[in-house]
Amino acid sequence: MDLIKRVQDYYNWTLTLTDPRSKGWLLVETPWPTLCGIIIYLTSVYLGPKIMRNRKPFKLNNLLVVYNLAMAALNFYIFWQLLTASLRLNYSIFCEPCRQVWTPDEMQIVDAVWWYYFSKLLEFSDTLFFILRKKDNQLSFLHIYHHSTMFAFWWIGIKWVPSGSTAYPAIVNSFIHVLMYTYYGLAAIGPQMNKYLWWKRYLTIIQLIQFSGALILGFNGLRIDCEFPLWMQYTLCGYMVSFLVLFGRFYVNAYIDDHKQRQKEKHKEKLLANNNEETIKDKNVIVNGKKYE
């Protein structure tokens, strides 16, 4: 009971540090909507494949085209709102304090950060569509970790630090999501689009660059003693390290190891073809001047 009281007291103290500009906004006031969303998401991940086990996969191509292109449009809106306001405010990419001011440009950033947080709830649909289409191989630890934690961390962002240096990770990530959802929207149209989708591999490379850049900026903020919440800087650095490890492993498995495996298979096929040719030649015998096979 003493531990519970101390946790409650600590949480009540943190509430005195929240940003008043997002007070009362949808899903922001208490952690319960976010926690319930994550619990429902994780429960769906656990139960969904079991429910679908003996059912036929749904064909959702038309829905996927609409969903992915709509998400690309939403992320472009977020990207543009954050970028234009931060440029007008001359935000520094290296360190920008979160000032609790109510100017139109600052409120444009706060509003866009809320939409960015809300988009993480909408992105739970990515996993739902995998389950309904019985693409269980896509339900990796990376996928589930990424979706569940992003929703939680950006609730913290919109409630405590909805502007300042918070803007830049959202700017970069929302732009990458424009590319990503555009890719998946085009892929859902059908196999006739495959010749235009050669750039999937580069999406992962861009994401790795994003995480590396965010980690460098996070360490730099600690080095220069940036006027931004210290706990947020440490959280950012730790979170980016986890993404670098997980996405780096995914890249190695999906592209480097897979490429090596394909090369080995091609080499085996070539050797097998050569051996077959040699076998055919060996079977060609000449008897009394006549050739027999």
Helical packing angle, 141-160 and 32-52, nearest 10°: 160
Tokens for 267, please give them: 């080499």
Q: Give CA–CA dist 129/255, Å, rounded.
A: 24
Element holding 290 (H helix, E strand) = strand 290-292
Told to judge if 146 belongs to the known catalytic residues of this protein, a careful annotator would answer yes
Residue 114 near residue 22, CB atoms below 8 Å: yes
Q: Give CA–CA dist 162/100, Å, rounded.
A: 9
Residue 50 near residue 146, CB atoms below 8 Å: no
Candidate list 143, 146, 147, 259, residue with the active-site label = 146
Q: Give CA–CA dist 22/160, Å, rounded.
A: 9
Tokens for 249, please give them: 């492993």
Q: Give CA–CA dist 154/146, Å, rounded.
A: 12
Q: Which residues are catalytic?
A: 146
